[in-house]
Amino acid sequence: MAGLSETKGPVRRKKLKTNTGAGYAFLAPALLFYSIFFIYPVIFSFIVSTKRWNMLVPLSRARNVGFSEYSYLLRDQMFLGVFRNTLVYALATVSLTIVVALVLAVLINNAKLSVLWRFIYFAPVVTPQVAIGTIWGYLYRPNNGLFNSILRLFGIKPIYWLTDPNVALWSIIITAIWAGIGGSMLIITAGLKNIPQDYYDAAKIDGAGPFRQFFHITVPLLSPTLLFLTATGFIGAWQVFDLPFTMGRNAPARSVMTVSWYVYETAFQSLRMGRASAGAFLLFCVIFGFTLFILWLFRRGGIKGYE
C-alpha cells in the first residue's frame, strides 16, 4: 500500500524516471521565496551574531566580536538552564499532546455529533491568550483556585502552581498540552478520513475488536501524519515563547524560561542583538540535530513516512 512501501516490480522500473523539470517547476515559487525571505535573513543574522549591536547604531558601525557571544552563551548558566527547561517542555508536551490527541480523535471520529466535538476540542486554538491566561490563572491560584480547592478536599496542602520553581514549568506544560490537543486532533482527523473503511470492515469480519483495529490499522496508516506531528511538534516546542512568557512571569526565571524567551529578552530588553542572534543559531543547531534524531528513531522503529 502506498505509504507503507513502494512496490518495485519489473513493470515499475520503467516508470521510475526522473522528472527533474517538473520537480523544480513545482518547487520554483517556494525556492524563490526562500532565497529572498530565508537565506538573506539567515546570513544577515549570522553576521549580526559576530558583532555587538544594539540595533540603534548602524550595523556597519557595530563592533566586531567574532564568536565571543557564542562562547559567552555556552558558558552562561542561565542559558544552559533554559535549554534544559525547553527540553523538558518539548519532551513532555509533544509526547502527551500527540497521544491524547490520537485517542480523542479516534474516539470522536465516528461518534454522534462529531462536528460539534471537533469544534469544542478545537476551541482552545481559537481562544485568545487573555482568556486562556485568566481561566488557567484562576485554576492555578494558590489561595482559592479550583485545583487547590480540590486538593484541600483531600487534605493535601496547597501547591504553588505558578510560583514554585519545581512546579511552575509543569503547570505551563499542562496548559500547553490542553492548548495543543485541538490542532493535533484536526490533523489526525484529516489523516483518519484518508483510511479506507474497507480495512476496518475486513478486520471486523476477521473478528478483530476495536483495540486490535486501532493498533494494527489506524496507527500504522497514520504514520505519515504521526511523523509530521512529532517532527513539527518538537520543532515548535523548542521555539515556544508565548505561553511560558505570559504564565511564567511570577516564577523564578531559571525554572520556566525557554530559549526563545531568553533570546527575546536579550534582544529587546537588553538590546544585545548580537548575543540574541547567536542564541538563535545555537537553538537552530539543537533543533536540527534533535529532528535528525527523531527521524532516525522513527526509521529504527520501522515507521515509514519519511521515505
Residues 79-98 that bind other proteins (CB under 8 A): none
Stretch that binds other proteins, among 63-71, 85-93, 101-109, 212-220 (CB under 8 A): 101-109
Distance of CA 127 to the CA centre of its chain: 18
Contact 53, 274 (CB under 8 A): yes
Among 80, 91, 215, 252, binds other proteins (CB under 8 A): 252
SS3 52: strand
Measured from the CB of residue 248, what is the shortest distance to other proteins in angstroms? 11
Of the pair 268, 293, the CB lying nearest other proteins is at: 268
Build a one-symbol-per-residue string for 40-59: x at contacts with other proteins by CB under 8 A, - elsewhere: xxx-xx--------xxxx-x
Stretch that binds other proteins, among 63-71, 79-87, 89-97, 226-234 (CB under 8 A): 226-234
- Residue 71 in contact with other proteins, rule: CB under 8 A: no
Alpha carbon distance 262, 253 (integer Å): 9
Ranges within 102-141 binding other proteins (CB under 8 A): 104, 107-108, 111, 115, 117-128, 130-132, 134-136, 138, 141
Measured from the CB of residue 223, what is the shortest distance to other proteins in angstroms? 9
Contact 303, 221 (CB under 8 A): no
Contact 218, 192 (CB under 8 A): yes
Distance of CA 281 to the CA centre of its chain: 18
Kindly write down the DSSP assignment for every residue of 114-139, as one continuous string.
HHHHHHHHHHHHHS-HHHHHHHHHHH
- Name the residue among 179, 183, 186 with its Cα closest to residue 133: 179
Measured from the CB of residue 280, what is the shortest distance to other proteins in angstroms? 5
Ranges within 159-218 binding other proteins (CB under 8 A): 160, 163, 165, 178, 181-183, 186-187, 189-191, 193-198, 210
Among 10, 13, 18, 75, binds other proteins (CB under 8 A): 18
Among 83, 273, 294, 298, binds other proteins (CB under 8 A): 273
- Name the residue among 47, 255, 282 with its Cα closest to residue 161: 255
Lookup: cell for 265: 529578552
Measured from the CB of residue 122, what is the shortest distance to other proteins in angstroms? 6
- Residue 265 in contact with other proteins, rule: CB under 8 A: yes
Using alpha carbons, list the distances in angstroms from residue 169 to 88, 92, 174, 175, 196.
9, 11, 9, 10, 41
- Residue 256 in contact with other proteins, rule: CB under 8 A: no
